[in-house]
């Protein structure tokens, strides 16, 4: 066992003794004591860190009948953007559709395949366009 090789008994406090012994001596590469260096790192508790948002992007073309395809389903977009290229910003449960720098709509990702979701065609008054920079500033706050 590793603890026996370096002269420590393999008990419950063996690991703590090992860490305290070696973290209290000067490190050969940094020429600093690791416990002292750790105090200067400025680390914070992981509970206080903001949540990480995993967002990926994919390019799509909006069909002539105003749908964008994602994971085998078709989602409606405002009709005035039919035939244009768009960018999908995809998170865990939703995706945003951008044309140029403007976010034209948002959809919840639906399960299954070969279905149409017409949320924006049925109610065109909900179609709010905001700029990409404004959207990114909202998520950084």
User: Position of tokens 């709509």?
Assistant: 105
pLDDT (tens digit, 9 = 90+) per residue, 5-49?
Answer: 455 455 556 777 767 777 788 888 888 888 788 788 877 777 777
67 — pLDDT class (breaks 50, 70, 90): very high
pLDDT digits (tens, 9 = 90+) for 90-128: 998 999 999 998 888 889 999 999 988 877 533 344 445
Cross-strand bridge partners of residue 58: 88
CA dihedral 115, 81, 141, 48 (to 10 degrees): 20
User: Count H helices, E strands: the chain?
Assistant: 5, 8
Tokens 């994602």 identify what position?
70
Q: Pick from 64, 66, 90, 92: which is nearest to 79 by CA? A: 66
Structure letter (DSSP) for residue 32: S
pLDDT value at residue 99:
92
pLDDT of residue 9: 53
CA distance 12 to 69: 57
């Amino acid at each position: 066992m590793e603890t026996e090789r370096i002269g420590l008994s393999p008990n419950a406090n063996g690991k703590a003794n090992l860490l305290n012994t070696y973290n209290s001596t000067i490190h050969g590469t940094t020429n600093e004591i690791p416990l002292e260096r750790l105090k200067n790192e400025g680390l914070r508790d992981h509970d206080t860190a903001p949540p990480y948002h995993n967002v990926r992007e994919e390019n799509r073309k909006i069909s002539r009948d105003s749908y964008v395809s994602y994971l085998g389903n078709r989602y409606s977009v405002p009709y005035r953007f039919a035939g244009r290229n768009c960018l999908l910003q995809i998170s865990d449960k939703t995706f945003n559709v951008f044309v140029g720098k403007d976010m034209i709509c948002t959809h919840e990702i639906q399960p299954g395949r070969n279905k149409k979701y017409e949320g924006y065609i049925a109610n065109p008054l909900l179609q709010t366009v905001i700029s990409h920079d404004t959207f990114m500033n909202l998520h950084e706050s």
